[in-house]
Amino acid sequence: MAVPKHKISKARSGQRKSQWKLTPLNLAACPQCHVLKLPHRVCPECGYYNGKQVITIKEKKSGSR
């Protein structure tokens, strides 16, 4: 069974745990509609991917209830 030879101080383990954090999303602009989207994904606004129409987007209804 492996046993550590020396005690790991609280400061050292705290320094190691301080590097665990969230990173911001890497967004890219769509070349068709210029909306920010995740790279290598179909644009949710216009439905284009790699210069081709991949999915058709239904028009949103605007009006009162």
pTM of full prediction above 0.85: no
Number of domains in the chain: 1
Range list of H helices, the chain: 10-17
Give pLDDT, residue 33.
93
Is 43 part of a structural domain of the chain?
yes
CA distances from 29 to 25, 36, 65 (A): 13, 4, 33
Is 37 part of a structural domain of the chain?
yes
Give pLDDT, residue 63.
64
- Domain of residue 33 covers 25-58
Give pLDDT, residue 64.
64
Write phi, then psi, for 13 (nearest 5 degrees): -70, -30
Give pLDDT, residue 42.
95
Closest CA to 40 of 58, 22, 57, 26: 26
Is 47 part of a structural domain of the chain?
yes
Q: Per-10-residue mean pLDDT for the chain, 65 residues long? A: 90 90 92 94 93 87 66
Give pLDDT, residue 19.
85
Is 1 part of a structural domain of the chain?
no
